[in-house]
Amino acid sequence: MSRAYVFSVTRLGDLVESTLVLDFLHAQHRDGVVLVTSPAGRPLMEGDSRLAEVAVVSSSHPLLWRAQVARLLARVHRENAHLVNLEMYPPRWRFLRSLGRFCPHRPRCIDLEALRGEFPIATENGDPASITHRSRFYARAAGMDDVDPPSPRLHVSQDGRDRALRRLREVGLEPSRTVFVHAGCSPGWKEKRGDPVFYGRLLRALHERHGLSPVLIGTADDADAAAAIVDGGAPVLDWTGQVASRDLAATLGSAALFVGNDSGPLKIAEAVGTATISLWSDTWPEQAAPRGPRHRAARFALAPHRCAGATCEVPAHREPLPSPEEVAALSMSLPGSIQGESPSAPPGPPMAAAP
């Protein structure tokens, strides 16, 4: 079959989630799969054997973005290729759907209207059971009907893995007892960010009760959140702004556990096979949390809902939120190398200075 052009351009976490369709598309399109993404996505996806090419839309300006995408769609037409629209930002999704009508084959589009339509319904009635996990929307868009969607997967080179392990050991950290922590969020969605005091208690419990060594990661946009946690006296090594994009997947894959909010690094940790504890406030874990026995989800704030305070009838709103210490204890329920250490175990290695 001809090539497939897969568009997932806007958010890093959405791009990583969409990788669950790549094995299927690679098997269906032997002429190759071209992934169209943002500059931030390229370091994560280059070297992936499922891809013939990683094409980049370099501008975020609305007009320039559309011009660059239109040129790529012209390639789709010239090559008699297939279009797979996995874009999650509504204006861009609509633009791709509109121009996709002129492609040589019927475009495959994620049903963004149905996906986004579930959220306000669940928000209104407080019923997470009414939510379909986003992985099913990705799978259906690619033509994977009536199957249990696979997990997302990112390629990490052996050289990248070796560099990440070496960096941990150079500062005295044992990979099997290291937990990477992302306390930040997307710049435009501050509601996802957890309270620094909550995170401080959580990291102290992971370190002192469960023998794990927390390391903060994130971009410059997360510096304020990281500084608040460090200033609060949490036992943590701060690598915020010190892990390059090209090394992020290998770095997260080198640790035993990831703890963080609903954000790109959470999805990357899932895609490289690291166990996760995800923390949620303004979004629904039932829709977007990592799946499987190596992942746990907890709330640090009530689910979005137009409730009536004390008279609210939503069961989840009548239940107390877990404490940071209770969230930390979830690490002991995960299968793998971090399991089995008792709460009275000695703490992990002392926090080293950042290299």
pLDDT one-digit tens code per residue, 63-85: 999 999 999 999 999 999 999 99
Domain boundaries, the chain: 4-142, 158-333
Contact 229, 194 (CB under 8 A): no
Question: In this predicted structure, what is the pLDDT of residue 320?
Answer: 73
299 beta partners: 280
Question: In this predicted structure, what is the pLDDT of residue 54?
Answer: 97
CATH number of the structural domain 158-333:
3.40.50.2000
Cβ partners under 8 Å of residue 153, min gap 6: 19, 20, 22, 23, 271
Contact 218, 207 (CB under 8 A): no
H-state helical runs in the chain: 12-18, 22-28, 42-45, 62-78, 90-100, 112-125, 134-142, 158-170, 196-208, 223-231, 245-253, 264-271, 285-288, 315-318, 324-329
pTM for this model (two decimals)? 0.89
Run of H or E including 280: strand 275-280
Question: In this predicted structure, what is the pLDDT of residue 339?
Answer: 53
Q: What angle do CA 350, 352, 355 make, to 5 degrees?
A: 165
d(CA 51, CA 44) in angstroms, rounded, equals: 12
Which residues of the chain fall short of a pLDDT of 70?
Answer: 1, 119-130, 302-319, 336-355
Query: End-to-end distance of the chain based on CA atoms, in angstroms?
Result: 49
Q: Pick the closest to residue 235 from 218, 214, 252, 216 (CA basis).
A: 214
Question: In this predicted structure, what is the pLDDT of residue 129?
Answer: 62
Question: In this predicted structure, what is the pLDDT of residue 336?
Answer: 66
Residue with tokens 């990831």: 258
Question: In this predicted structure, what is the pLDDT of residue 126?
Answer: 55
Q: What does the block give as tokens for 207?
A: 């370190």
The answer to whether the Cα torsion of 31, 33, 34, 39 is positive or negative is negative
Question: In this predicted structure, what is the pLDDT of residue 281?
Answer: 83
Query: Which fold does the domain 4-142 belong to in CATH?
Result: Rossmann fold (3.40.50)
Question: In this predicted structure, what is the pLDDT of residue 353?
Answer: 37
Question: In this predicted structure, what is the pLDDT of residue 348?
Answer: 42
d(CA 10, CA 27) in angstroms, rounded, equals: 26
Q: Phi then psi for 60, rounded to 5 degrees?
A: -105, -5
- Measured CA to CA in angstroms, residue 342 lies from 56, 191, 202 at distances of 48, 34, 16
Length of the chain equals 355
Using CB atoms within 10 Å of the CB of residue 320, give its burial: 0 to 12 exposed, 13 to 18 middle, 19+ buried: exposed
